[in-house]
Structure 1
Amino acid sequence: MSGLAEKKPAEGKAKQKKKAVLPISHLVLLTGLSGAGKSIALKYLEDLGFYWTDNLPISLIPAYLQYLQGTGEEVIRVAVGIHLREGESLSRLQSDYQRIAEWAVHCELLFFEANPETLVNRYQETRRRHPLTHGCTVREAILLERQAMEPVRAMADLVIDTSRTTTPQLKDRLAQLFHEMQVERRQEGELTIFLRSFGFKYGANTDADMVLDGRFLPNPYYDPALRPYNGREEPVIRFLERDGEALAFLDRLQSLFDYLIPRYQKEKKRYFTVDIGCTGGYHRSVFLVEQLSQRLQQQGFMVLLRHRDLHR
């Protein structure tokens, strides 16, 4: 028999507890065109309680999520910025997206874009170099990237156009999207409806699923007594309701949405973005968006609002 004493665990030493493995509640993958606002979005999502990392190779995303999953946090919300500048990365995301999405209860792919003129101006203002400017101009690089990214754009759950969006406006939209209570309320397959008013004279957005034109309605702008009031205020509301055309339009829109929404839900569409415009985005479109929102919320739908040009 060996003279070596058998090694016993130290008395009183507590057994090390294994960290619980909890599911990631919300995973957001952010990609899109260079200069369109991904970095701003990532930093703001941190303020909303997201763990975030930027420019992580797609092949390493599962390992990163596995690490976070083992931290024992009760609610883990994760945002990952993805820069897709090479063909291999593009094809990798297309093939791996569903596998990555399985790591979270909810997963969304957001695509940020802006029109070429806006992106050129941003690069001129910041004096940064576009990552694809190898023997070509900034504008040419932007158009090349836009063309290469089209397959990923088509995959996205939500396209966010920042062409006419200031940093505070972008933050406000993200706050609406990812507010903790909204995330907790969201059920699998539930559709979030974005209703946005805008003015045609300031240009239309490019990321809407549907654009509606309210310029056929009588315009309160031409009544000096109504001009200072916007579409959320009582004098304009009474004016448009009294005419009857606005309410008839809303009735038809509600019937259209009653038809469309169940079909979008069946296809597991997560977001439905509807823009309603008038000339200046101050009276008629604001009224229509507010009234339509009330009707849809009464039916139990999750509706988010934005009045793009109300404060111009």
Structure 2
Amino acid sequence: MHSTLPEQTSVQEPEQPGQPPRGIHDVSLVMITGQSGAGKSTVLNVFEDLGFFCVDGLPAGLAGQLVTLAEEMKLDRYPGVALGLDVRLPDFALQWENFVQEMDQAGISLKLVFLEARDAVLIRRYATTRRPHPLEAQGMGLDQAIFQERVMLEGLRNHADLVVDTSDFSIHDLRRVIQEKWPLEKETGEGMRIHLISFGFKYGVPLEADLVFDLRFLPNPYFDPELRPLSGLDESIARYVLQHDPGKAFIDRFEDFLRYLLPLYAAEGRYRLTLALGCTGGRHRSVAVSQALLTSLQATGFAVTIEHRHLDLG
């Protein structure tokens, strides 16, 4: 893998009170191209997960028009714009040169990501997907189409800010490379979103959960008549469940465990992780523990959302 991307933050800082509104000049513009079968669609999916406005199969001649319309389309609300270029048009090189010139004149900086892979790998990928190479429509065989496309793209590759050889990459490896170069905005945490779900086992385990934790060993406020009408959102319930052992010892160890575990998932390129925490009815213990984790993980810097799925049923 070749990495020639300049040391520069591609995603802008969140707006602060008193600062002027962000314009298209403040938005990161990324063009994605390269050999067919090298992973362009995967990279676009990564940018979409990062919150970018994404368009695939765009002729270079129309890319300039899209950027020109960006202010009207309110694209400045996105951290960036990622465009997958269609290089099959015969006048692509001229269109690309004109587009770059337009961006220079408009004072808009762009980054070009170029994806490639070894011929044998591309042939294997096409054999697996059973899809034709775009240039095969011109009467070429697969070997010849791959060679011809490599020649066509040589000039574009030489101007790329980031060249990635995906031959030995899994989808997760490729995702990790892009996330390292274009991290999430600071307001979205450390690059992996955590979704907490409190639930009641009597109503069923959330199917989308990556990790499920059973909290039915904790003291149950349900058996206290004064506490039963309350929920884990009430301070008195949180104290009952977590202020004394075993709840106190558990939450300390559990938070330490997650602070160790979650960065390992993030290092593997995970974009989202869903943690489901259950008690019997999903009203007291699971809610209290989920709220405590929300505060703890946010303080650590993770982007965390929370959902109390069965709160009103328990």
Q: TM-score normalized by structure 2?
A: 0.48
TM-score scaled by length of structure 1: 0.49
